[in-house]
Amino acid sequence: MNKILKVLVINTLLFVSLIFSFQNNISYGQSNKIDELISITKKEENFNKRINDLDYILKKNIENRSSDKNMKSSLLERRINIDSLKYSQIKFFKMYFERQLFNCKKSEILLIKEIKEEREEALESSNVTYIKGRWPLENYRYISSGYGYRTHPITKKLNFHNGIDIPAPKNTSVIASDDGIVIFAGYKNGYGNVVEIEHFDNKKTLYAHNNSIVVNEGQVVKRGQVIAKVGSTGDSTGNHVHFEVKINNKRINPLYGISNDL
């Protein structure tokens, strides 16, 4: 029993030292804030995975102990002592990762706030309401269907087209128009496979009819990063990317939201 207590004390001291060392190591440094934000969110993903793995081990440990009721008393007592020790060790490490995750989330919130404040200052100094993004494809600029009223290619009825359609070969890389956070990555009726990004100014962008999506919801992406592959999913008559831009949650002609730079 003394041995068990000794190990528990050591684990406790180790846990406390790890917590303090991690808190002291949180800093923004001098690197690009978007890169820092990406690094933090990747750490969060890793910590979440570790916590989930430890939760699973703890659950199995409890199930195994409850199934040992038929064991002889002395053997059962020894087994419970060993299991209790392992259980406490796992709990300590779970608490450690939960603390790391908490600190990461705090850093993420502060960093996003700093990025948004910087963008707001840039907008005010330039007397504009949003930052123009990049064209969503590298080498394809022809627009097969523009923004505004048109005859729908499938229903043949007059309707309002909320974006622009840019044809390109299947699996051509679709890129993020600007830095931002993916707020949706999945399937939407009519739109097929969709990626939506909320940027750090007043802008949101949408990329639809993709063959595949290569980012996840909550992921931080950089301007020009590949987020999807061109396809023809949803209500579509051929391979293209349907691209939309919103400013303060109101759609605008995407051509107004894109820089002339390639």
Report the CATH number that the domain containing residue 193 is assigned in CATH.
2.70.70.10
Residue 20 has a pLDDT of 47
Angle of the 2-25 helix axis to the 73-126 helix axis, nearest 10: 10
Number of domains in the chain: 2
Residue, of 53 and 166, whose pLDDT is higher: 166
* Of 44-48, 205-209, 257-261, minimum mean pLDDT range: 257-261
- pTM here is 0.76
Q: Measured between alpha carbons, how far is 155 from 159 in angstroms, rounded to an integer?
A: 9
Provide the residue range defining the domain that includes 117: 2-126
Q: Is the pLDDT of residue 64 over 50?
A: yes
Q: Is the pLDDT of residue 234 over 90?
A: yes
Ordered DSSP codes for 98-113: HHHHHHHHHHHHHHHH
Is the domain of 121 the same as that of 141? no
- Final residue of a domain: which of 105, 126, 147? 126
Residue 240 has a pLDDT of 97
Is the domain of 120 the same as that of 137? no
Residue 142 has a pLDDT of 95
Residue 42 has a pLDDT of 92
Residue 3 has a pLDDT of 53
Is the domain of 74 the same as that of 175? no
Looking at residues 147-155, what average pLDDT do you find?
A: 87
Q: Where are the beta strands (DSSP E) in the chain?
A: 148-151, 158-161, 164-167, 173-175, 180-188, 192-199, 203-210, 212-213, 220-221, 226-229, 240-247, 250-252
Which tens digit of pLDDT belongs to each residue from 160-182? 999 999 999 999 999 999 999 99
Is the domain of 172 the same as that of 233? yes
Q: Is the pLDDT of residue 5 over 90?
A: no
- In degrees and rounded to multiples of 5, residue 139 shows phi and psi of -125, 15
Is the domain of 80 the same as that of 53? yes
To which H or E segment does residue 117 belong? helix 73-126
